[in-house]
Amino acid sequence: MKLLLTGAGGLLGSAVIAAAAARGDTCQALARPALGACSAPDPGHAPGCGAITAAQLAERLRGYDLLLHAAANTNVEQCETDPDGCYRDNFLLTELLAQAAAIAGVRMLFVSSTGLYGTGSDAPYHEYDAAAPTTHHHRSKLLGEQAVLAAARDNLVVRTGWLFGGAPATAKNFVARRIDEARKAAAEGRHIESNAEQRGVPCWNRDVAMRMLDLAAAGVTGVVNCVNSGNASRYEYVRAVVELSGAGVEVRPSSAAGFNRKANVSPNEMADNWKMRMLGWPDMPDWRASLTTYLRTELADY
């Protein structure tokens, strides 16, 4: 496949580049298209701003097999205080890309979140469960999904979970930051705490990236959950990170209330790869096994 990728510098985008190379696919980065307020155009002229139209953007997409949209505003807390920015980044930009891809005749894969299922169940969610997002971030992702699926019937939406991976210096490297926190606590002779109430699925960016490309190459369409096997509370996840890293500090369970979040994030972000299983796809690797591999390879010297 010949891929065009948004968010190439992000946690998942960087893994997509590596996965594409391993598959023998061509992958190029697409810079963020300009969005902005435009003055009313004169008849026969473009809007009076630097914003690009879907037709103009389509010219950049021609000749590619797949547009993989991994870029996103992932700051769930900031989305609550700046909803306009959140919907601009996660909905309007996605809508523009979907329209452009449809004009160019290019399939689109949109990366979404299992967090948008909401609070309707205590069990892992299936693709046929209703989405009822509880935050601006997750609602913006749902609107993005709807725009992508409405633009072309062969588009694909992948809902994934708590991503980990990447270089240790990456600011959003959850595993590396928890190791830093644990080492600091150990040096100061204290414990650390983590939320024992919220549950989800830790997902290695490498596993998700490779499976996404496989799904796209196979022509899978619609909404697909794509998470590692198993699930965990935040506490169980952090405890596994600390134990596997050998940081030597106690991790204690705490309540969600102790973290004073602005966003009303669902306590259940677990998902099940029901659709893939029904279509005959193999199980994704267990999250603990992938976490162990990640720590022993990419974080071996950290």
Q: What is the pLDDT of residues 128-137, one digit of tens each?
A: 999 999 999 9
Residue 269 dihedral angles phi and psi, to the nearest 5°: -115, 20
Task: Please give the single-letter amino acid code of residue 126.
Answer: H
For residues 270 and 30, what is the distance between their CA atoms, to the nearest angstrom?
31
Reading the block at residue 261, the tokens are 């979040």
Reading the block at residue 24, the tokens are 């023998």
Q: What is the pLDDT of residues 154-175, one digit of tens each?
A: 999 999 999 999 999 988 899 9
* Mean pLDDT value across residues 40-60: 71
Q: Which of 201, 164, 189 is nearest to 12 (CA)?
A: 164
For domain 2-164+202-230+265-285, the CATH class is: alpha beta
* Distances, alpha carbon 28 to alpha carbons 6, 214, 218, in Å: 9, 18, 20
- Give the whole-number percent of the chain exceeding pLDDT 90: 89
CB within 8 A of 43, min separation 6: which ones?
none
Read off the pTM: 0.93
Do residues 173 and 240 make contact, with C-beta atoms less than 8 angstroms apart? no
Please name the residue ranges forming H helices in 82-124.
83-87, 93-104
Domain range list for the chain: 2-164+202-230+265-285
Strand partners, 113: 160
Is a pLDDT exceeding 60 seen at residue 47?
no
Reading the block at residue 22, the tokens are 């391993």
Note the pLDDT of residue 234: 97
3-state helix, strand, coil in the chain (%, to 5): 40, 20, 40
For residues 70 and 6, what is the distance between their CA atoms, to the nearest angstrom?
5
* Distances, alpha carbon 85 to alpha carbons 92, 106, 136, 225, 297, in Å: 10, 27, 10, 26, 37
Q: 134 burial class (0-12, 13-18, 19+ CB within 10 angstroms)?
A: middle
SS3 251: strand
Strand partners, 193: 252
Do residues 227 and 201 make contact, with C-beta atoms less than 8 angstroms apart? yes
Note the pLDDT of residue 258: 72
Phi/psi-derived region of residue 159, left when phi > 0, alpha when psi is between -120 and 50, beta in every other case: beta
DSSP class of residue 88?
I
Do residues 234 and 164 make contact, with C-beta atoms less than 8 angstroms apart? no
Residue 184 dihedral angles phi and psi, to the nearest 5°: -65, -45
Do residues 32 and 6 make contact, with C-beta atoms less than 8 angstroms apart? yes
Strand partners, 268: 199
Q: What is the pLDDT of residues 267-287, one digit of tens each?
A: 999 999 999 999 999 999 999
Reading the block at residue 42, the tokens are 């004169």
Note the pLDDT of residue 42: 45
Q: What is the pLDDT of residues 95-154, one digit of tens each?
A: 999 999 999 999 999 999 999 999 999 999 999 999 999 999 999 999 999 999 999 999
Is a pLDDT exceeding 70 seen at residue 41?
no
Give the chain's end-to-end CA distance (angstroms, integer). 35
Reading the block at residue 255, the tokens are 């309540």
